[in-house]
């Protein structure tokens, strides 16, 4: 399967106003004015008409993660591969595809019990990003072909999720980490796989072994900006708006991202960083990392 990028996400929210404030005034995303006034909140960051669709709900959680394939042929090929793997999927209706600004999509459930979509041909409107807080650009590649960022998801069965994403979805292995938070030698600990799709971003998906429920049904998402100053200004806005800081500034070992983590209105964390590694996969050798950060990323320190 030729997955090219993390295209869009849908988030359920009990308070769209809170998400609007957080998305625009803290992260610097733009309300997607070209999207229909259908009661949902759409946030954009680049040439794509939106990247975040926030829908009213009685829950605060990540609902859907959507992956892009390059065109109809690749889409039909992807469906054949889902069928061959025994994955039952539902084809979206024309209306649902129009609502997403894509030519077509299917939805299904992954082994971590997350709702996943595969789509093709998002209709770009090329409107300029006018960030309300002056973010010049988000790093998403040419016409958004590196996707909106990356996402880390919990799974109670890491082996099954890893097998699904590498063998059925065609993701590539990038790095593996192992954590033992208790320090007990009889504790099997928790594994974390980092996977890439067919773009240079170091990883688009991370899978974290954890059977416990996660706030907002997600570990974290990441969006990337162009320089340290844009991260610094965002940290000032985090304090100004009294957003909870999850970790202080730090630098990751594997993707070299310099970033902070802050709490979204859905309860999961948003990583906001710059300088993430871009990789030529033809010559890359997968790694196993013993530590997540070369410096910083201290919990609870803004």
Binding stretches for Fe ion (CB under 5 A): 222, 271
- Of 41 and 207, the one with the shorter C-beta distance to Fe ion is 207
**Residues contacting residue 218 through CB under 8 Å, at least 6 positions apart:** 61, 62, 151, 152, 153, 154, 266, 268
Structure tokens at 239: 């304090």
d(CA 71, CA 9): 19
Least separation, in Å, of the C-beta of 253 and Fe ion? 12
- Of 198 and 254, the one with the shorter C-beta distance to Fe ion is 254
d(CA 41, CA 8): 13
- Of 144 and 276, the one with the shorter C-beta distance to Fe ion is 276
Least separation, in Å, of the C-beta of 189 and Fe ion? 19
Least separation, in Å, of the C-beta of 157 and Fe ion? 21
C-alpha distance across the termini of the chain, in Å: 40
- Of 34 and 278, the one with the shorter C-beta distance to Fe ion is 278
Least separation, in Å, of the C-beta of 127 and Fe ion? 28
139-150 in b/e burial notation, b at 16+ Cβ within 10 A?
A: bbbeebbbbbbb
Structure tokens at 54: 């926030």
- Of 38 and 288, the one with the shorter C-beta distance to Fe ion is 288
d(CA 110, CA 133): 36
Instruction: Judge contact between 259 and 271, C-beta under 8 A.
Output: yes
Least separation, in Å, of the C-beta of 33 and Fe ion? 29
């Amino acid at each position: 399967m030729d997955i090219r990028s993390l295209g869009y996400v849908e988030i359920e929210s009990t308070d769209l106003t809170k998400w609007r404030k957080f998305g625009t005034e803290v992260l610097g995303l733009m309300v997607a004015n070209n999207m229909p006034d259908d009661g949902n909140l759409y946030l954009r960051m680049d040439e794509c008409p939106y990247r975040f669709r926030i829908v009213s709900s009685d829950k605060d959680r990540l609902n859907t993660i959507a992956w892009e394939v390059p065109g109809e042929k690749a889409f039909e090929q992807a469906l054949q591969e889902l069928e061959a793997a025994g994955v039952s999927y539902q084809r979206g209706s024309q209306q649902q595809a129009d609502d997403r600004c894509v030519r077509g999509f299917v939805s299904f459930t992954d082994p971590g019990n997350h709702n996943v979509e595969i789509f093709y041909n998002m209709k770009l409107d090329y409107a300029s990003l006018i960030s309300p807080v002056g973010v010049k650009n988000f790093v998403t590649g040419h016409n958004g072909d590196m996707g909106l960022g990356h996402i880390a998801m919990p799974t109670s069965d890491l082996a099954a999720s890893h097998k699904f994403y590498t063998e059925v979805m065609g993701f590539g292995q990038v790095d593996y980490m192992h954590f033992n938070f208790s320090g007990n030698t009889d504790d099997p600990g928790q594994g974390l796989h980092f996977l890439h799709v067919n773009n240079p971003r170091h990883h688009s998906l991370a899978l974290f072994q954890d059977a416990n429920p996660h706030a907002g049904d997600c570990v974290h998402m990441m969006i990337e900006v162009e320089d340290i100053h844009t991260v610094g200004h965002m940290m000032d806005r985090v304090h100004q708006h009294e957003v909870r800081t999850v970790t202080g500034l730090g630098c990751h070992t594997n993707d070299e991202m310099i970033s902070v983590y802050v709490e979204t209105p859905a309860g999961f964390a948003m990583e906001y960083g710059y300088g993430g590694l871009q990789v030529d996969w033809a010559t890359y050798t997968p790694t196993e990392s013993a530590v997540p950060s070369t410096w910083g990323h201290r919990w609870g320190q803004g």
